[in-house]
Amino acid sequence: MSSQIGIYSLYIALIISVFLIFQFTFLNKGTTKNLDSRIFSLISVQFLMVIISFFSLIYAFIISDFSNETVYNNSHTTKPLFYKISGTWGNHEGSLLLWLLVLIIFLFIFFIHSKKLSNKYRLLTVLFQEIIILGFLLFILFTSNPFSNLFPIPKEGNGLNPILQDPALAIHPPVLYLGYVGTSIIFSSSLAALITGLINKVWASHIKKWVVISWIFLSIGIMLGSIWAYYELGWGGFWFWDPVENVSLMPWFCLTALLHTIIVLEKRNTFHSWAIILSVTTFSLSMSGTFLVRSGILNSIHTFANDPSRGIFILCFLFFLIFSAIFIFFIYQKNISKNLYKPYLVSKETSILINNLFMMFFLSVVLVGTIYPIFLEVINDSKISVGPPFYQKLITPFLIPFLFFMAVGPNIKWIKDRISKINIQQLIFFIIFILLSCLFLKKNGALYLFVLPLIGSGFFLLFLTIKDFFLKSSHLSQKLAHFGFSLFMLSVLFNGILAKEYSSNMKVGDERIFMNKIIKFENLKVVQGHNYQSLIGEFKIIDQKNVLNFKPQIRVYDQPKTITSEADILTTIYSDNFLVFNVLKNDGYYNVRYQNKPFMIWIWLSVALMSFGGILSFIKKNG
């Protein structure tokens, strides 16, 4: 029953989409007032339909309706309620429905909040967004139907992967999608603004809200994914340069560049083409991400369904959108005001251009690294791997000048400034921090001359941003965000350099010595959990100062039969102590891995701080 409701509401949404798109010219002829209410009602109905559809899927999951194939494949009666609900979007079909829902929600909100702007612009935005919605509806209805029926109705489901039963992972997709899909509105409205000749300060103020919202959600979404990986996957890492992770990072670089470009457009009425190109690129990257992850073209631990036919659909749709955008850009380019003003070398505009340059560089590194193996295999028929070493080698050197410019840039005035602005005070800071970093690194026994400038730049940025807090009280959101970023960089750096790890095969009763600590494997207990059996290992790590107790688990799940390792992580403000153990075949022996990771929690806090800076800007605008 819920399946029927689900699918029929989608069909109605489809009809509305087609209607809106093909009646576009028709509707344009009406008066503003009528037009407004007509489109508003149509979009509202469509919104309602998609919500109904989405909730009917959630309902099917809650009641474990196994006549629904998606529920059958991804749920189980013994799963806790919270995970039954989050299982709705933890699979290919459900997550697409979520994409669709967010697409229509954003369109709805956009339509309500843009009443002050030109009607033609709003209509065009609706048109483009509806084209995207149509594409997704067709994709869902014809290749990824979340409401397909099974007969005879199975008694029990295939269960959800136990690794996915985690709170962080439950909210990670919705938050991430809010970020991704937010870029769709930016895409649609940029093209609409281009056609109606509205690329200017007013439009920039208007679209900035959307850019900030997407950026906040994307940042938090990525962070949640990393948190999940760190706490749940048992490897102690939080970023693996895995293709699927890269795919979420790429739009982030673009969105950050776009955010800064929009700020310039708003303040100085320049960089129009940049704004459009970045808008289109950001959304294209989001869509490409969808393509890469679901088409089976990538080799990753995160991938969804490996179905090439779905891949072909998304690929064609994606390139249809990209080519349309390219066509529109070149045809309507004349609408962009010919602002022949060249920013001076030392000016905030140029700083932002430099920022964009670096963002595009980082983007290209990640993009090339992720896609190159695919291209090479087609052209050369050889398989290579591009892993963490590649990204680290290319990105790390460029971070140094980037951090420097990021420290200096925000303080440079608009239009024109003098280079002596980079004054003695800052230079002294600079040198102090080189020395500080040197001392710090020496104390901790990690002497890389290579790393030294990186830390120096990081500190430079940090203290400059702190100093800014005391100077003036304006631009609080920017300062907070930049400060958060500097904290993030330093946390990641120190975490990477100072982290220590040790692994060994131990059986109960064994002791090992690592640096000045003793690791004891004391005991093993068996405990029954909700839908798993758990083997709990009791470990003690003793050093001169204190004793740490760990209880990592090895869980054996029934549906489906999997074994997972749950690490025990002791978090303090200074560092995380991380212990995980795995079964080995040699009876009684377990592979035990201990890691000490300094400043882990700062990594999460700093991203939260950055996002909070974003939220602050949004609140201040409206307040």
Choice from 30, 397, 509, 588 touching another protein (CB under 8 A): 397
Choices 16-24, 53-61, 158-166, 412-420; region in contact with another protein by CB under 8 A: 412-420
Interface residue with another protein, options 378, 471, 526, 573 (CB under 8 A): 378
Between residues 96 and 277, which has the closer beta carbon with respect to another protein?
Answer: 277
CB of 278 to another protein, least distance (A): 13
Q: Give 118 or 396: the residue with its C-beta nearer to another protein.
A: 396
Interface characters, 567-606, with another protein (x: CB under 8 A) = ---------------xxxx-----x---------------
Q: Which residues of 502-519 are buried (b: 16+ CB within 10 A; e: fewer)?
A: beeebeeebebebeebeb
Comparing CA positions, the residue from 127, 104, 120, 118 lying closest to residue 22 is: 127
- Non-local (6+) Cβ contacts of 252 within 8 A are 179, 215, 218, 219, 222
Residue partners of 281: CB distance under 8 A and separation at least 6:
254
Count CB neighbours of 470 within 10 A: 7
Out of 105, 141, 195, 353, point to the residue binding another protein (CB under 8 A). Answer: 353
**Number of CB atoms found within 10 A of residue 544's CB:** 6
What sign results for the dihedral spanned by CA atoms 377, 382, 388, 393?
negative
Residue 345 interacts with another protein (CB under 8 A): yes or no: yes
Determine, following the binding rule CB under 8 A, whether residue 432 of this chain makes contact with another protein: no
DSSP H/E element including 92:
helix 92-113
Tokens 């989608």 correspond to: 10
Classify residue 452 as exposed, middle or buried by CB count within 10 Å of its CB (0-12, 13-18, 19+): middle
Contact map string, positions 59 to 88, toward another protein, x by CB under 8 A: ------------------------------
In angstroms, what is the minimal distance from the CB of 375 to another protein?
6
Cβ proximity to another protein: between 119 and 562 the closer is 562
Q: Sign of dihedral through CA atoms 477, 483, 487, 490?
A: positive
Q: Which is nearer to another protein, 130 or 349 (CB)?
A: 349
Task: Based on the shown chain and the rule CB under 8 A, indicate whether residue 375 belongs to the binding site for another protein.
Answer: yes
CA distance linking residue 229 with residue 212, whole number of Å: 26
* Residue 440 makes contact with another protein by CB under 8 A: no
Question: Please, which of residues 303-342 interact with another protein by CB under 8 A?
Answer: 303, 306, 308, 311-312, 315, 319, 322-323, 326, 330, 333, 342
Closest contact distance (angstroms) between CB of 201 and another protein is 20
CB atoms under 10 Å from CB of 15, counted, come to 14
Long-range contacts made by residues 248-251, C-beta under 8 angstroms, separation at least 24?
248/176, 248/180, 248/218, 248/221, 248/222, 248/289, 249/222, 249/366, 250/285, 250/289, 250/363, 250/366, 250/367, 250/370, 251/179, 251/180, 251/183, 251/218, 251/282, 251/283, 251/285, 251/286, 251/289
Q: Is 401 in the site for another protein (CB under 8 A)?
A: yes
Rule CB under 8 A: say whether 422 interacts with another protein.
yes
Closest to another protein by CB, 152 vs 587, is 587
Question: From CA 431, how far away is CA 437, in angstroms rounded?
Answer: 10
* Contacts of another protein in 218-237 (CB under 8 A): 235, 237
Q: Considering the complex, what minimum distance in angstroms separates the CB of residue 210 from another protein?
A: 25
Query: From the CB of 9, what's the least distance to another protein, in Å?
Result: 31
**Contact flag: residue 171 with another protein (CB under 8 A):** no
Residues 6+ apart with CB under 8 A from 175: 217, 220, 221, 224
Q: How many C-alpha atoms does 482 have within 13 Å on its Cβ side?
A: 28
Query: CB of 365: closest distance to another protein in angstroms?
Result: 5
CA 498 to chain CA mean position, Å: 26
DSSP code string of 171-189:
HHHHHHHHHHHHHHHHHHH
Among positions 31, 32, 420, 546, the unique one binding another protein when judged by CB under 8 A: 420
The reply to whether 498 sits near another protein by the rule CB under 8 A is no
Closest CA to 126 of 11, 20, 264: 20
Q: Which is nearer to another protein, 47 or 405 (CB)?
A: 405
Residue 154 in contact with another protein, rule: CB under 8 A? no
Half-sphere exposure for 312 (CA within 13 Å, toward CB): 5
Min CB(300)–another protein separation in Å = 4
Nearer to another protein, 57 or 247 (CB): 247
Query: Which region among 214-222, 292-300, 486-494, 545-553 touches another protein (by CB under 8 A)?
Result: 292-300
Residue 439, interface with another protein (CB under 8 A)?
no
Q: How far is the CB of 218 from another protein (least distance, A)?
A: 22
Q: Which is nearer to another protein, 196 or 288 (CB)?
A: 288
CB of 513 to another protein, least distance (A): 15
What's at 241, amino acid-wise? W
Answer for which of 394, 432, 438, 601 binds another protein (CB under 8 A) is: 394
Residue with smaller CB distance to another protein, 130 or 245? 245
Cα radius of gyration rounded to whole Å, the chain = 26
Torsion sign over Cα 286, 288, 294, 297: negative
Pick the closest to residue 495 from 605, 379, 342, 583 (CA basis): 605
Cβ 450 to another protein, closest distance in Å? 6
Q: Which is nearer to another protein, 182 or 458 (CB)?
A: 458
* Residue indicated by tokens 């709805």: 108
**Binding to another protein by residue 23, rule CB under 8 A?**
no
Q: Per-residue x/- mask for another protein, residues 445 to 474, rule CB under 8 A? A: xxxxxx-xxx-x------------------
Size of the site for another protein (CB under 8 A): 89
Q: Is 19 in the site for another protein (CB under 8 A)?
A: no
Distance CA 351, CA 345 (A): 9
Q: Does 415 bind another protein (CB under 8 A)?
A: no
User: How many whole angstroms separate alpha carbon 221 and alpha carbon 232?
Assistant: 16
Q: Using an 8 Å Cβ cutoff, are 227 and 168 in contact? A: yes
Candidate segments 117-125, 361-369, 465-473, 506-514, binder of another protein by CB under 8 A: 361-369
Q: In angstroms, give the least distance from the CB of 304 to another protein.
A: 12
Please report where in the chains the tokens 């005879």 appear, as a residue. Answer: 152
Site for another protein in 255-284 (CB under 8 A): none
